[in-house]
Each structure stands twice: as C-alpha cells, then as structure tokens.
C-alpha cells in the first residue's frame, strides 16, 4: 500500500499541520512516511501545500507531480492540482471560496463543507481536522487509536487537553462528507 | 536504545550532532537550513552534553571558529546554504591546508548569487572540485534521506578525524525540509581533554615538557616544505579514494539504461525507475553516496554494459563530467536537469529517458 497525497490551501488553514498529524499517525502505525512542505515564498503568505506519502514500503520520491488524493482548500490550489490527481484517484475539497468547481470526470470527487461548519459551531481552529475526517472516511489509512497517538506526538504537551475536541472534529468531518462526482 | 522520531532533515543534522558527542556548532541562519540552528537552540545541548552552540556574526566567522575548534582536536561543525558556503571557501581551504578535522553542511539552494531559497544541486563543482584555492579535496557525503542526514553527522566526524580533513555533507532544500522517520541513537559522551591529547598528537592541546610545540597552520614560506605538504595531502587523498567510496545500486542487474543521481535527485529517480519499469523500460540507478571520492569504478563497470547513461542533477550538468570520465566516454552519457530551485518531476525525467 502506498498513498500519495497533496494537501493545499491558504497559509494558516492548517494544511501543514494536517499533513503532520497524518504523518505522525502513520509512523505510530509502523508505516513509512514522508512530509514535504512548500517552504518557498508561499509560506510567507498566500498558498501553502504539503505532499504526504504513507506506505508499507520504502518511499521513493518525496516530491511528486501525480497524486492518489488531492485535498484542496482554496481556488488557487484547485487550479494548480485538479489535473494532478491520477485517473481513478480522489479529490476532496471545501466548497467555501471555490468559484470554479472541479470538472474532471475520471476521478472521485467529494465535498466537505468544513469552513462553514467550523464557523457555525465555533471551532474555527479545528477546520483542518474536519477536512481530515472527510478524507479518513473514504481512505481509513489510520485508525482512531493511532490518530490519537499521532496527535499526542505532533501537539505540544500543553495542548494535549485539546485532543478529544480534535477527534470530535474528525467525526464531524466524516458525517459532512458529500459526494460530488463518483465513478 | 533506538528511538523513532519524525524529523526534518535539518533537525536530524542538529540531533545527530548532539547525540554523537559534537563539541561545538558555529553557524549563521540562512534558508533552507535555519532549522539546524533553531533545533540546537531549542534543545540546549550546552545544558545536556556541554556542546557549545553559537550564532556567529557571519559565515566567515563561523568557519574560522571551526578552524580554531578543530585545531585543538574538538569535534566542531558549521552549516549553511549556498551563498553562505561561498563565503566559507577561504576558511575551508585553510582548514584543508592545515589538516584540521571539521564538518560542514551545505543545504544547497538555487544560485548563482543570492538566487532562490528552493532546492538545487548547483554547488557540486564548488564542493568536489575545490571551491577554495589550492590542491585540496573535501570528503563529500550526499544524504538522500532524513535518516542519512542523521547518520552522516557521526560518519562525517569519523572520516574527518581519520584523515584530518574537512568533510562536507552536501544536501539540498528537499532533504533539509522533508520530514521522515528517523531512528536516533543514544547520547554519546563528548571526548575528554585527556583522550584528545592522547589520541591526536598533532592537536594544539597545550605544550607538555616532553615535546615541541604543535603548530597547526597552512602557511609554509619555503616552497620545498610546501611541496612536501602537498605530497602528503595527495597521498592521503589516494588512501581516501581507495577506502572511502560509498554508493548504492538499485535494479542495475538487467538495466538497459542507467540513471546516475545523488541526494534528492536519486529519490526522484527511484520513482522514475518504478514508472519506467511499469512501461517495460529496464532502468537502473547508481546513487553516489560519496561525491568525493567519486564511485568511478562501479559506474564504469555497470555503465559500460548499458545502452546509455542519464545523469540527473538539479543543475546545468556538473556531475555528468565525472560520469563521463568514469565510463571513459565508451557509452553515451546525457544530462537531465532543472535549475534555479525547480525540482524535476518523475514524469519529465522519464520523458528525457525515452528521448535518449
């Protein structure tokens, strides 16, 4: 099993930390992982993206141009990465701020209205975990047990009290997941 | 006991230094390697092992602090990225000339000039052909994973002290920034002053009554003496070439075409191997781990049986010259690369291979 994922959005949306939590959870589950951020001018405001690979085997390239899954959180990222999903692959996006929805017919596309829900119930900071929940519903790469362990590893100890809220946000994301175009 | 961590390549360099018993780090921040200094400052090794961590006023100061620390037999290092390493070239030449063990890490970014902060391999020539003046060599290690970033710090110090020579870890923005699984080892104690005085009789550890002053210098005003220094250096480099070549070969047994790539390019090429073989193209990869001494023999032996060799580098074609020398131009050798911080995709390398 090898899952090659790109997560892309605005800086501050928690793109990098979502990837980090996924990577840590993968390690806890004894997988090989790689987390390659964009560290260029993007991280100084604007778009931000990270390539996360989780595999049972030794990982080849940490930098890729074709992905099994794209998790898209803004329009510039949609423009950039919609065509980078492998045929038959998966695209998950938050419709908030998306002016041109995806048009590919050869991939599976789902929506998670995470921004709207996060604002509604007042957990804006957990927006990224809601999105992650949507992804894990379709591709349960890590179990809840290992996700908890991943959170413990990636969050500083003073924030460990927030882990139950994070897990709850993941559950909300699983419920919010809505098919947009399914093969 | 081994401990599993998820770390950036840069953090692994810092952690490797603390745990292998490094005595001192002198550096100046620059993207894409600032996490090395940040990690060291956060870990505060001066409280754990007594290792000094100092942010110098410049790269020129850093490398000369390394000169001083190495001259007294301490395990000292510096790190920087391309423009900073250019500033260190004079110091590296002096360190090589004075035969001081030292470790330098270059997390390469796109150039020339201030260039860009994105990954590149355009400092190959500077590193292996001598960026400073004089007939000297840097033992050069090219890590291709975060684990190797960690492991090569200790290996680098071992080689530096074995040969009394500066060692360069030639990394780049990808291997510096990527996070991967790393197995970290136990904390090794730093060498005691007694151990250093006993083990390194050349080091400037203070003059006991029973011997003359130890003078650590790269200056010889008499040419006859300076020629002797050069002959000694060349003999040492020969020994190094005979004993320290390191490389990895992947799927070369049945390969029609061979890719030669180091560091992050070698990682991207592993993906190319996979894609090419899915299409029935038999490709293998030779990954030089030491760039100097260069794995000439294995590239020759495998290369001359191939239909062609593609040297994949994130530069305009630098290592290709060493590959061509290795195969004595008996087979066609071509180059594929992107510059200025652009990372080549596996698909475009595959296309270059198809166009061979």
Digit-coded pLDDT (tens) for B60-106? 999 999 999 999 999 999 999 999 999 999 999 999 999 999 999 99
A45 has a pLDDT exceeding 90: no
**Residue B341 to residues A12, B81, B109, B233, B316: CA-CA distances in angstroms?**
24, 13, 7, 35, 12
- Check if B236 contacts A (Cβ < 8 Å): no
- Check if B162 contacts A (Cβ < 8 Å): no
- Check if B16 contacts A (Cβ < 8 Å): no
What pLDDT score was predicted for residue B3?
Answer: 87
B201 has a pLDDT exceeding 80: yes
Domain ranges across chain B: 3-184, 248-354
Digit-coded pLDDT (tens) for B104-161? 999 999 999 999 999 999 999 999 998 999 999 999 999 999 999 999 999 999 999 9
Interface test mutation site (partner A, options B178, B265, B338, max chain A beta carbons within 10 A): B178
> Which residues on A lie below 8 Å from B181 (Cβ)?
27, 32-33
DSSP B1: -
Nearest CA in chain A to B264: A61
Q: Beta partners for B258?
A: B284, B309
What pLDDT score was predicted for residue A38?
Answer: 86
| Spatial distance between the Cα atoms of B233 and A52, rounded to a whole number of angstroms | 46
Chain A / chain B CB contacts < 8 angstroms: 69
We find that the CATH architecture of domain A2-181 is 3-Layer(aba) Sandwich (3.40)
Interface test mutation site (partner B, options A17, A24, A60, A66, max chain B beta carbons within 10 A): A60
ipTM reported for the complex, 2 dp:
0.91
- The DSSP-derived string for B119-152 is B--TTHHHHHTTSSSSS---EEE---SHHHHHHH
We find that the CATH architecture of domain B248-354 is 3-Layer(aba) Sandwich (3.40)
> Which residues on B lie below 8 Å from A63 (Cβ)?
174, 264, 267-268, 343, 345
| Spatial distance between the Cα atoms of B149 and B68, rounded to a whole number of angstroms | 25
Contact between residue B175 and residue B149 where contact means Cβ atoms under 8 Å apart = yes
Do A153 and B6 make contact, defined as CB atoms within 8 angstroms? Answer: yes
Q: Are B3-184 and B248-354 equal in CATH topology?
A: yes
Digit-coded pLDDT (tens) for B224-279? 999 999 999 999 999 999 999 999 999 999 999 999 999 999 999 999 999 999 99
Q: Which residues contact B266 (CB under 8 A, 6 or more apart)?
A: B144, B248, B285, B287
Contact between residue B325 and residue B293 where contact means Cβ atoms under 8 Å apart = no
Q: Beta partners for B265?
A: none
Nearest CA in chain B to A41: B117
Do B180 and A34 make contact, defined as CB atoms within 8 angstroms? Answer: yes
> Which residues on B lie below 8 Å from A64 (Cβ)?
271, 345-346
Please name which of A60, A64, A51 lies closest in space to residue A5, comparing C-alpha atoms.
A51
Do A27 and B345 make contact, defined as CB atoms within 8 angstroms? Answer: no
- What is the enclosing helix (H) or strand (E) of A148? helix A144-154
Domain ranges across chain A: 2-181
> Which residues on B lie below 8 Å from A59 (Cβ)?
180
Helix axes A127-138, A15-28, angle to 10 degrees: 50
We find that the CATH architecture of domain B3-184 is 3-Layer(aba) Sandwich (3.40)
Closest approach of A36 to chain B, Cα-based (Å) = 5
Closest approach of B6 to chain A, Cα-based (Å) = 7
- Check if A23 contacts B (Cβ < 8 Å): yes
């Amino acid at each position: 099993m090898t899952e090659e994922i790109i997560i892309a959005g605005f800086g501050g949306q928690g793109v990098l930390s979502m990837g980090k939590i996924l990577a840590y959870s993968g390690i806890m589950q004894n997988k090989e992982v790689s987390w390659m951020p964009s560290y260029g001018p993007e991280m100084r405001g604007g778009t931000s993206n990270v390539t996360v690979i989780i595999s049972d085997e030794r990982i080849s390239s940490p930098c890729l141009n074709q992905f099994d899954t794209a998790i898209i959180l803004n329009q510039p990222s949609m423009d950039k990465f919609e065509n980078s999903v492998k045929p038959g692959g998966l695209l998950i996006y938050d419709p908030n701020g998306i002016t041109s929805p995806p048009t590919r017919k050869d991939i599976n596309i789902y929506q998670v209205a995470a921004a709207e829900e996060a604002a509604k119930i007042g957990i804006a900071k957990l927006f990224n975990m809601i999105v992650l929940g949507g992804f894990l519903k379709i591709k349960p790469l890590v179990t809840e047990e290992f996700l908890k362990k991943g959170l413990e590893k990636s969050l500083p100890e003073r924030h460990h009290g927030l882990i139950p809220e994070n897990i709850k946000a993941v559950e909300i994301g699983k419920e919010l997941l809505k098919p947009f175009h399914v093969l | 006991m081994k401990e599993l961590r998820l770390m950036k390549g840069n953090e692994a360099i810092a952690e490797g230094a603390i745990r292998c018993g490094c005595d001192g780090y002198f550096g100046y921040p620059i993207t894409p390697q600032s996490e090395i200094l940040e990690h060291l400052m956060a870990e505060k090794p001066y409280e754990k092992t007594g290792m000094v961590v100092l942010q110098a006023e410049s790269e020129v100061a850093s490398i000369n602090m390394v000169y001083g620390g190495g001259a007294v037999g301490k395990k000292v290092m510096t790190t920087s990225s391309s423009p900073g390493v250019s500033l260190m070239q004079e110091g590296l030449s002096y360190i090589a000339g004075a035969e001081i063990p030292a470790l330098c890490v270059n997390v390469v970014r796109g150039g020339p000039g201030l260039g860009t902060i994105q990954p590149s391999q355009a400092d190959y020539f500077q590193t292996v052909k001598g960026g400073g003046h004089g007939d000297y060599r840097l033992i050069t290690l090219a890590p291709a994973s975060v684990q190797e970033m960690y492991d090569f710090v200790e290996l680098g110090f071992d080689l530096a002290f074995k040969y009394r020579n500066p060692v360069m870890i030639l990394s780049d923005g990808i291997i510096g920034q990527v996070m991967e699984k790393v197995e970290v080892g136990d904390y090794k104690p730093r060498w005691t002053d007694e151990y250093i005085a006993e083990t390194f009789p050349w080091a400037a550890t203070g003059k006991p009554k029973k011997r003359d002053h130890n003078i650590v210098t790269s200056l010889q005003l008499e040419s006859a003496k300076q020629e002797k220094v050069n002959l000694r250096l060349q003999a040492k480099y020969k020994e190094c070439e005979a004993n320290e070549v390191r490389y990895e070969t992947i799927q070369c047994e049945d390969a029609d075409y061979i890719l030669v790539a180091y560091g992050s390019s070698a990682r991207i090429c592993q993906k190319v191997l996979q894609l090419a073989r899915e299409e029935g193209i038999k490709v293998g990869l030779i990954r030089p781990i030491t760039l100097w001494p260069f794995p000439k023999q294995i590239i020759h032996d495998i290369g001359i049986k191939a239909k062609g060799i593609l040297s994949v580098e994130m530069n305009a074609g630098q290592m290709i010259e060493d590959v061509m020398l290795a195969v004595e131009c008996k087979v066609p050798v071509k180059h594929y690369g992107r510059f200025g911080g652009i990372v080549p995709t596996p698909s475009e390398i595959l296309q270059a291979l198809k166009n061979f």
